[in-house]
Amino acid sequence: MADDLKNTLDELCQRTGAIGAVLCDDEGETVTAALGPQPISEGAEARARDHIPRSMQLEMPVGEFLVRLVGAECCGLVRMVDRVLRDQLDGPLSGLHLRYRDLDLLLQPLPEDFYLLVLLRRPLLLPVLQMHVRDAHSALAAQLS
């Protein structure tokens, strides 16, 4: 099953030209992650290296570390938004799109409190991206159920 999940993320990254995608559990822990063809920015890599102790060896590419880190950091935000809006809007969160400078984050909740996060730059039209994310969401949901 783990290989199927990873393959789904790899395929999503290739189809969308994403920087990366990560599948996280309900605590923000990475289940699996994939890097896409878009590299992380030099500035992001430098900032990441500044936050890794020199005595610690990073055992994965810096891009994957950052994708996993963003995935973990989004967990609290997802829980808060879902909790606040669930009562007010009468239903669970079905997705979240965040835009930051030249970066887009698309988050999709999955069964069993898992979630998918896709990081990408803007060249892809949002409706096309959302279609690809929905396809990956369906594949991941079936694999997790």
Report pTM: 0.82
Over the stretch 72-112, which tens digit does the pLDDT of each residue have?
A: 998 888 888 888 888 788 778 888 888 887 888 999 999 88
Over the stretch 2-60, which tens digit does the pLDDT of each residue have?
A: 899 999 999 999 998 899 999 999 999 999 999 999 888 888 888 877 778 888 888 88
Q: What is the pLDDT of residue 124?
A: 58
| pLDDT value at 126 more than 80 | no
| pLDDT-derived band at 123, boundaries 50, 70, 90 | low
Compute CA distances 90 → 25, 86, 93, 110, whole Å. Answer: 24, 5, 10, 18
Give CA–CA dist 122/111, Å, rounded.
Answer: 28
The three-state secondary structure class of 48 is: helix
**Residues 6 or more apart whose Cβ sits within 8 Å of residue 64:** 20, 33, 35
Half-sphere exposure of 77 (CA within 13 A, CB side): 15
| pLDDT-derived band at 62, boundaries 50, 70, 90 | confident
- Strand pairing category for 96-100 and 30-35: unpaired
Lowest mean pLDDT among 11-15, 21-25, 116-120, 129-133: 129-133
**Phi, psi (degrees; rounded to nearest 5) at 67:** -60, -45
Q: What is the pLDDT of residue 59?
A: 84
Report the b/e string of 108-133 with b at 16+ CB within 10 A: bbbeeebbbbbbbeeebeeeebbebb
